[in-house]
């Protein structure tokens, strides 16, 4: 618990961060672009002078800050990878004479490779302020007072850090651990009957399955915020059944980049948080592409462990070139089209997007939960949890027919019925698609 004076001090931090976020929202495109360039140059110079990890990467690439003259030079800056972070020591990741208040965090490891980094308290307040401003947008300026937050409470997670900051405005009783047993989370949710819920797709999916088994719906919930994971159409449909009056809103966040993008309320596109991050979509050679490519981010808010041209999020997307009906001038991406760690391989060795199998399987009747696992090219294990009242034969035939049609012979199937699909040890997330094949370079 925090003392009243601590809460007041935290309130001042939040208000200062909100003032900055609100001001930045009014910036023109040229002003945002100038901010990105100015901040990028400053971070690169800081990294070159003080951060051992970047001193090593820059030297190996033959890069110096003087080479960054204009935007065309961005590709000269070496790509930062998840293994770069994972293998670095703490002394590699932070300036020796760092004077900022920092927190050491670890990514959730959703790509299978967790990594550590340091964030300044200031960057965390900015992250919280951005999410608070979005929340007010979703509520049309009239926040819902009855809220519930189900978050990863691992002490080195960014959500644990922000949950601590969230206590400035939210009672402890409304912040629960996503790692708690599903039955407990379901009981708490039914007891509170929240108007607003913020959590992860896999956590709310598990709760929704529990509620469906009890023939319960939660009609009081009006808004659900989902983040950190891919929301598949099957889970979206399930949440719509259990929370029939709730609008679903997503944000794209990460430990390394903070708030990267948010879903536009007018459609499926995602607006880039351009005052927070510099976002690129690049091909396998690190060069810009207008097609499907790897998301690369530079965090503009954190100086503790600078994140410069980071490809470790593992997400694939493409730019949305058309103007948005909402009037925002921020650049947009179409929905995330997969994770490089979850890309599948055909018999011939060609890539299969995870969305091919997800979109095919989502409407199979009687399917409660599923997971696709690839251990060798051209072979997919489909782990299936059937509804209690469903015919296994019909579910198996439905899955087989749906995936046969989608894959057109590109891969063979092994369908396995299981009683439950659990999150990996140390994680609250249940991945829909897992590739156990070595990642491409």
Q: What is the pLDDT of residues 63-107, one digit of tens each?
A: 999 999 999 999 999 999 988 998 999 999 999 988 778 999 987
pLDDT on residue 441: 33
Mean pLDDT, residues 271-290 taken together: 93
Higher pLDDT, residue 1 or 300: 300
Residues 6 or more apart whose Cβ sits within 8 Å of residue 276: 126, 127, 130, 257, 258, 259, 260, 299, 300, 301
Tell me if residue 378 falls in helix, strand or coil. coil
Judge whether residue 7 has pLDDT over 60: no
Rounded to the nearest angstrom, the gap between the alpha carbon of residue 80 and the centroid of all alpha carbons in its chain is 18
What's the angle, vertex CA 324, arms to CA 322 and CA 329, rounded to 5? 95
Mean pLDDT, residues 39-45 taken together: 98
Report the alpha-carbon distance of residue 204 to residue 197 in Å, rounded.
9
pLDDT on residue 378: 92
Of 43-57, 262-276, 352-366, the one with minimum mean pLDDT is 352-366
Mean pLDDT, residues 258-262 taken together: 95
pLDDT on residue 440: 45
Residues 6 or more apart whose Cβ sits within 8 Å of residue 251: 131, 134, 225, 226, 227, 259, 261, 262, 263
Instruction: Say if strands 247-254 and 223-227 run parallel, antiparallel, or are unpaired.
Output: parallel
Residues 6 or more apart whose Cβ sits within 8 Å of residue 77: 44, 63, 68, 308, 309
Report the alpha-carbon distance of residue 391 to residue 304 in Å, rounded.
55
**If phi over 0 gives left and psi between -120 and 50 gives alpha, with beta otherwise, what is residue 366?**
left
Mean pLDDT, residues 19-39 taken together: 95
Share of the chain above pLDDT 70, in %: 93
Contact criterion met (CB below 8 Å) for 295 and 283: no
Q: Is 260 exposed, middle or buried (0-12, 13-18, 19+ CB in 10 A)?
A: buried
Angle formed by the axes of helices 121-138 and 158-166, to 10°?
A: 70
Share of the chain above pLDDT 90, in %: 58
Closest CA to 330 of 282, 286, 269, 283: 269
Contact criterion met (CB below 8 Å) for 98 and 117: no
Q: What is the pLDDT of residues 158-182, one digit of tens each?
A: 988 888 888 877 888 999 999 899 9
Closest CA to 121 of 166, 154, 170, 165: 165
Name the range with the highest mean pLDDT among 99-103, 139-143, 234-238, 241-245. 241-245
What's the angle, vertex CA 258, arms to CA 199 and CA 432, rounded to 5? 45
pLDDT band per the 50, 70, 90 thresholds, residue 314 = confident
* Mean pLDDT for all residues in the chain: 88
Closest CA to 255 of 154, 149, 147, 134: 154
pLDDT on residue 285: 84
For residue 139, give Cα distances in angstroms to 96, 135, 225, 352. 44, 6, 11, 38
Higher pLDDT, residue 353 or 317: 317
Judge whether residue 3 has pLDDT over 70: no
Contact criterion met (CB below 8 Å) for 385 and 418: yes
- Cite the beta strand spans of 71-111 per DSSP E: 102-106
Tell me if residue 144 falls in helix, strand or coil. coil
Residues 6 or more apart whose Cβ sits within 8 Å of residue 347: 377, 378, 409, 410, 411, 412
pLDDT on residue 363: 75
pLDDT band per the 50, 70, 90 thresholds, residue 109 = low
Mean pLDDT, residues 264-268 taken together: 80
80: which DSSP letter?
B
Q: What is the CA radius of gyration of the chain?
A: 22
pLDDT band per the 50, 70, 90 thresholds, residue 9 = low
Report the alpha-carbon distance of residue 44 to residue 27 in Å, rounded.
24
Report the alpha-carbon distance of residue 336 to residue 317 in Å, rounded.
5
Q: What is the pLDDT of residues 325-378, one digit of tens each?
A: 888 889 999 877 766 656 788 888 877 877 778 778 877 888 888 899 998 999
Higher pLDDT, residue 431 or 248: 248
């Amino acid at each position: 618990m925090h003392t009243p004076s601590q809460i007041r001090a935290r309130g001042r931090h939040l208000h200062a961060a909100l003032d900055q976020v609100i001001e930045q929202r009014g910036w023109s495109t040229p002003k945002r672009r100038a901010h990105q360039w100015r901040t990028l140059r400053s971070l690169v110079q800081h990294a070159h002078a003080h951060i051992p990890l970047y001193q090593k990467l820059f030297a190996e690439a033959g890069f110096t800050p003087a080479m960054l003259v204009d935007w065309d030079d961005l590709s000269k800056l070496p790509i930062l990878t998840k293994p770069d972070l994972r293998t670095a020591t703490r002394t590699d990741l932070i300036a020796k004479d760092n004077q900022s208040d920092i927190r050491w965090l670890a990514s959730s490891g959703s790509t299978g490779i967790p990594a550590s980094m340091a964030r300044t308290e200031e960057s965390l307040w900015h992250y919280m302020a951005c999410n608070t401003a979005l929340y007010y947008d979703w509520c049309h300026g009239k926040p819902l007072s009855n809220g519930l937050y189900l978050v990863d409470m691992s002490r080195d997670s960014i959500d644990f850090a922000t949950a601590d900051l969230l206590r400035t405005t939210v009672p402890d009783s409304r912040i629960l651990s996503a790692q708690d047993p599903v039955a407990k989370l379901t009981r708490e949710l039914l007891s509170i009957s929240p108007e607003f819920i913020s959590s992860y797709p896999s956590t709310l999916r598990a709760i929704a399955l529990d509620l469906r088994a009890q023939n319960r719906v939660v009609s009081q919930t009006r808004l659900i915020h989902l983040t950190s994971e891919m929301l598949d159409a099957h889970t979206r449909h399930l949440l719509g059944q259990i929370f029939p009056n709730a609008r679903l809103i997503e944000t794209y966040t990460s430990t390394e980049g903070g708030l990267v993008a948010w879903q536009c309320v007018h459609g499926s596109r995602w607006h880039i948080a351009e005052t927070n991050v510099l976002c690129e979509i690049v091909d396998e050679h690190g060069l810009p592409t207008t097609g499907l490519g790897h998301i690369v981010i530079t965090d503009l808010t954190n100086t503790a462990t600078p994140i410069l041209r980071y490809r470790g999020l593992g997400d694939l997307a493409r730019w949305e070139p058309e103007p948005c009906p909402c009037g925002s001038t921020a650049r947009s991406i179409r929905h995330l089209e997969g994770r490089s760690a979850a890309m599948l391989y055909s018999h011939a060795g060609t890539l299969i997007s995870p969305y091919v199998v997800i979109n095919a399987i989502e409407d199979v009747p009687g399917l409660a939960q599923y997971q696709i696992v690839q251990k060798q090219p051209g072979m997919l294990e489909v782990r299936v949890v059937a509804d209690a009242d469903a015919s296994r034969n019909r579910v198996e035939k439905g899955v087989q027919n749906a995936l046969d049609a989608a894959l057109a012979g590109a891969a063979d199937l092994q369908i396995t019925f299981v009683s439950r699909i659990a999150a990996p040890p140390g994680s609250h997330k249940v991945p829909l698609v897992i590739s156990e094949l070595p990642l491409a370079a």
